[in-house]
Amino acid sequence: MRVFFSIALLFLSLNIYGQKETISQRVDTLLSQMTLDEKIGQINQFSGNWEQTGPKAVTPQILDEIAQGRVGSLLNVHGAATTRSLQQYAMKSRLKIPLLFAQDVIHGYKTTFPIPLAEAASWDIKAIEKSARVAAAEASSAGIHWTFAPMVDICRDPRWGRVMEGAGEDTYLGSIIGAARVRGFQGNGIGSTDALIACAKHFAGYGASMAGRDYNTTDISDRTLWEVYLPPFESVVKEGVGSFMTAFNDLNGVPATGNKYLLTEVLRKKWGFTGMVVSDWGAIGELIPHGFAKDGKEAACKALLAGCEIDMESHLYKNNLKQLVLDGEIDEKVIVEAVRHILYKKFELGLFEDPYKFSDEKREKETLGNAANKAFAREIAAKSIVLLKNNNEILPLTKKYKKISLIGPLMKSKADMRGNWSIVRWGDSDIVSPYEGIQKRAPKGAELIYSKGCEISTNDRSGFTQAIEVAKNSDVVIMAMGESWNMTGEAKSRTDISLPGIQEELIKEIVATGKPVVVLLMAGRPMTFEWTAANAGSILYTWWLGNEAGNAIADVLYGDYNPAARLPITIPRSVGQIPLFYNNKNTGRPLIDENNVSYVSAYIDSPNTPLYSFGYGLSYTRFEYSDLETSNTKIGKKDTLTVKCKVKNIGKYDGEEVVQLYLRDISASVTRPVKELKGFDKIFIKAGETKEVEFKIGKELLAFYDINMKRTVECGMFELMIGQASDKIVLREMLEVIKL
Ligand code: BGC
């Protein structure tokens, strides 16, 4: 039967010359058979209810529309059995065009990985790619074809709750990480049973929401747009990302969802993108409150003509496009183009051959949360933990700490470890809390004493006394403090990003006992914690680490893994410093002497410097840099130069170092940042050993948008910096770019 089917399919897909038809030809053939209603159907995307299974996952009305060929894709339905049952309805439609199933698979599906910002802290591109790979394998086995990730929005404002979803503040790092995630999700290519179509979002500028308030307006100069916000999107187009999602915000007066410049001029024409473009949830309808369209009809018209091809949940394409075509306001060809991009993906996935290809219950059972996936979740969680401080080498914990007190509102938490983007509520049974992780790992004979101390965000001090007693009776204190899972994420902007509630007061009380204190800080964003930074003995920034949080934390606390993460985003001292990022401009009155702030670019009530800079992070070992060598100190505009240096592990432990390369264009036709990350290498070096690191500097790294917004390399002096962090440059050299 199967063989017969395959032969029949092959025969059907041969063209009149007996050659195998290309996907484009098959798309054209199908398009020629479609009515206008069926075409409009393909560009509708509706949401299901992720708590329901089988056909009940969508309303009876949607089921009916699916059977009539009026729905192209669904989101928020998952599971092999459920997706299969819904696909059966699509097979009842006249042309049997299969549905696409989409889902926000942001940091894992069943096995939850660290939030994307945490993974970015690993600076481990292979691991980040693998995390997306595993997530894709799990989700695709549950019938999902398409993930709404990666988010590649650069963010310089930690008040914005969605900072957790991206790769932080830096364009270079963000571009590399975005591309890695696309590679991971799309694996061996769209159509492989373990791959998902990736989606670059939110196009564009969403990360610049004014005042860090979600959905707010953005006002971004052309220069900043092209230098800071657009490159990660361009990078994922080059990587072959299958889809794009428009952003909610308006950008310089034009909402991104109705922005022809972005969606057509830049994305399609300049970058040559050929995949699908979906609106964000209800964003077409939001063109009305934006003041960009007077009603749903105008909103639908403007969005489609701008290049927003799929309507996620605003129902405005469904209700207005036919009339707009009949009125002559929209040429049907525009709809055909949009449908073409969708059908292409459906063919690429192989859904016309087998609409149930991804709905494989056996594979789903074997894949979801399997042991290998869990082991990897633990590995990448440990890689995401940033060691911010380690006074007197409290860490790694040794056997001398017999009595260990475990304090804080997050110590026994499970749900918070999962972070904000865990769509399917799988229950907490497979999440390892910090307490459980430490309990499993603590050496025999160690005594653990727990006291919660306080809640995450109330003002109730009644637990302080017991927590202080517990601390006094121990050899070392470990505190798990921070945000709950729903304090950072979409629509979770904060004006006060300090440790919520009275948590820092509890830290003060515990530090006052004089015991060595290790503070674990858990959050989806950079928080402010100036007092803790100055007074706690050791600090680990653990973000939200996913299922294996507790085990990974224990791995780091006990030195089974030597921390090597680096901040992908600045941690400010106070909200008043925001926006604060490392690649700022020098200004005409730079602050040179912290003690002299008179009429220079400085605050009279705070240092300019952050609490912790971009690129910062410690290890249990120490590294020494030497022997900076450049193949030449003069470089022709089109030449490439080699830079080398030596890095020695001078501490007691084997460990990884992230060697960071920064450049500064000293004087140019427009002012340039004080430094920009242009390369990095994460290397493992055994205690006592030395390794050589090499970077190549060519025109790609030296170029920028000149005064005429033309990407170019200008002659002149550049400062080359190699450092352990953006504020810890250890080797410098001047280079001169010359005309050759
Ligand atoms: C978010 C998107 C997400 C979509 C679908 C929106 O609210 O902004 O990032 O992909 O919902 O869940």
> What confidence tens digit (pLDDT) does each residue in 490-529 have?
999 999 999 999 999 999 999 999 999 999 999 999 999 9
Q: Over 90: is that where the pLDDT of 15 sits?
A: no
Give me the amino acid identity at 495.
Answer: T
Are the CB atoms for 102 and 144 separated by under 8 Å?
yes
Q: Which of 337, 465, 474, 450 is nearest to 394 (CA)?
A: 474
CB of 490 closer than 6 A to ligand 1? yes
Distance, in Å, from the CA atom of 633 to the CA atom of 645, rounded to the nearest integer, reads 15
The predicted structure's pLDDT at residue 405: 98
Tell me how far the alpha carbon of residue 134 lies from the centroid of ligand 1, in angstroms: 21
HEC string of 551-580 equals HHHHHHHCCCCCCCCCCCCCECCCHHHCCC
* Mean pLDDT across 723-737: 98
Of 148, 164, 243, 311, best ligand 1 pocket probe by most atoms within 8 Å of the beta carbon: 148
User: Which ligand 1 atom is at minimum distance from the Cα of 248?
Assistant: 8
Of 45, 74, 246, 280, best ligand 1 pocket probe by most atoms within 8 Å of the beta carbon: 280
CB of 203 closer than 6 A to ligand 1? no
Strand order in the sheet with 243-246: 199-203, 243-246, 276-278
Q: Which residue, judged by its Cα, is nearest atom 4 of ligand 1?
A: 281
Distance, in Å, from the CA atom of 548 to the CA atom of 381, rounded to the nearest integer, reads 7
Dihedral over Cα of 284, 289, 292, 293: its sign: positive
Distance, in Å, from the CA atom of 393 to the CA atom of 377, rounded to the nearest integer, reads 27
Q: Cite the residue boundaries of each domain of the chain with CATH code 3.20.20.300.
A: 36-43+104-363
Of the residues 124, 153, 157, 280, only one is catalytic, namely: 280
Are the CB atoms for 169 and 155 separated by under 8 Å?
yes
Are the CB atoms for 70 and 37 separated by under 8 Å?
yes
Distance, in Å, from the CA atom of 367 to the CA atom of 389, rounded to the nearest integer, reads 38
The verdict on whether 327 is a catalytic residue reads no
* Mean pLDDT across 124-142: 98
Q: Which of 425, 81, 190, 83 is nearest to 73 (CA)?
A: 83
CB of 153 closer than 6 A to ligand 1? no
Tell me how far the alpha carbon of residue 499 lies from the centroid of ligand 1, in angstroms: 27
* The CATH number of domain 623-738 is 3.40.50.300: no
Distance, in Å, from the CA atom of 479 to the CA atom of 557, rounded to the nearest integer, reads 12
Tell me how far the alpha carbon of residue 59 lies from the centroid of ligand 1, in angstroms: 20
For 472, the enclosing helix (H) or strand (E) is: helix 464-472
Share of the chain above pLDDT 90, in %: 95
Q: Which residue, judged by its Cα, is nearest atom 2 of ligand 1?
A: 280
CB of 201 closer than 6 A to ligand 1? yes
CB of 227 closer than 6 A to ligand 1? no
**For the chain, what is the mean pLDDT?**
96
At 457, phi and psi to the nearest 5? -135, 20
CB of 148 closer than 6 A to ligand 1? yes
Lookup result for tokens 């352990």 = 724
Tell me how far the alpha carbon of residue 282 lies from the centroid of ligand 1, in angstroms: 9
CB of 280 closer than 6 A to ligand 1? yes
At 594, phi and psi to the nearest 5? -55, -25
Could you tell me the two tokens for 324? Answer: 């707009």
* Mean pLDDT across 174-182: 98
What single DSSP character describes residue 612? B
The predicted structure's pLDDT at residue 424: 67
Of 281, 312, 423, best ligand 1 pocket probe by most atoms within 8 Å of the beta carbon: 281
Q: Which residue, judged by its Cα, is nearest atom 8 of ligand 1?
A: 280
Give me the amino acid identity at 628.
Answer: L
Are the CB atoms for 558 and 511 separated by under 8 Å?
no
Distance, in Å, from the CA atom of 556 to the CA atom of 498, rounded to the nearest integer, reads 25
Q: Over 70: is that where the pLDDT of 17 sits?
A: no
The answer to whether the peptide bond before residue 204 is cis (omega within 30 degrees of 0) is: yes
Q: Over 70: is that where the pLDDT of 367 sits?
A: yes
The predicted structure's pLDDT at residue 3: 42
Cα–chain center distance at 471:
37
Distance, in Å, from the CA atom of 591 to the CA atom of 608, rounded to the nearest integer, reads 8
Q: Which of 538, 525, 461, 534 is nearest to 499 (CA)?
A: 525
The burial class, CB within 10 Å (0-12 / 13-18 / 19+), for 707 is exposed
pLDDT in tens, 421-456: 876 668 888 999 999 999 999 999 999 999 999 999
Q: What is the DSSP secondary-structure string of 431-465?
A: PPPHHHHHHHHSPTT-EEEEE--S-SS----TTHH
Distances (CA, A) of 278 to 490, 535, 562: 18, 48, 42
Pairing of strands 276-278, 254-255: unpaired
Tell me how far the alpha carbon of residue 490 lies from the centroid of ligand 1, in angstroms: 8
Q: Which residue, judged by its Cα, is nearest atom 6 of ligand 1?
A: 281
pLDDT in tens, 601-656: 999 999 999 999 999 999 999 999 999 999 999 999 889 999 999 999 999 999 99
The predicted structure's pLDDT at residue 423: 66
At 97, phi and psi to the nearest 5? -80, 120
- Under the banding of pLDDT at 50, 70 and 90, the label for residue 740 is confident
pLDDT in tens, 18-70: 678 999 999 999 999 999 999 999 999 999 998 899 999 999 999 999 999 99
Tell me how far the alpha carbon of residue 280 lies from the centroid of ligand 1, in angstroms: 6
Tell me how far the alpha carbon of residue 609 lies from the centroid of ligand 1, in angstroms: 35
Q: Which residue, judged by its Cα, is nearest atom 11 of ligand 1?
A: 281
The predicted structure's pLDDT at residue 2: 42
Lookup result for tokens 């410098």 = 732
Distance, in Å, from the CA atom of 509 to the CA atom of 504, rounded to the nearest integer, reads 9
Helices and strands per DSSP (H, E), number in the chain: 23, 26
User: Which ligand 1 atom is at minimum distance from the Cα of 201?
Assistant: 9
The predicted structure's pLDDT at residue 638: 87
For 623, the enclosing helix (H) or strand (E) is: strand 623-630
Q: Cite the residue boundaries of each domain of the chain with CATH code 3.40.50.1700.
A: 377-577
Q: What CATH fold (topology level) applies to the domain 377-577?
A: Rossmann fold (3.40.50)
Pairing of strands 641-649, 254-255: unpaired
Cα–chain center distance at 87:
30
Of 49, 104, 310, best ligand 1 pocket probe by most atoms within 8 Å of the beta carbon: 104
The burial class, CB within 10 Å (0-12 / 13-18 / 19+), for 517 is buried
Q: What CATH fold (topology level) applies to the domain 36-43+104-363?
A: TIM Barrel (3.20.20)
Q: Is 492 helix (H, G, I), strand (E, B) or coil?
A: coil
Tell me how far the alpha carbon of residue 279 lies from the centroid of ligand 1, in angstroms: 9
The predicted structure's pLDDT at residue 6: 45
- Which of 291-295, 554-558, 594-598 comes out lowest in average pLDDT? 594-598
Distance, in Å, from the CA atom of 148 to the CA atom of 103, rounded to the nearest integer, reads 6
CB of 110 closer than 6 A to ligand 1? no
CB of 124 closer than 6 A to ligand 1? no
Q: Which residue, judged by its Cα, is nearest atom 12 of ligand 1?
A: 104
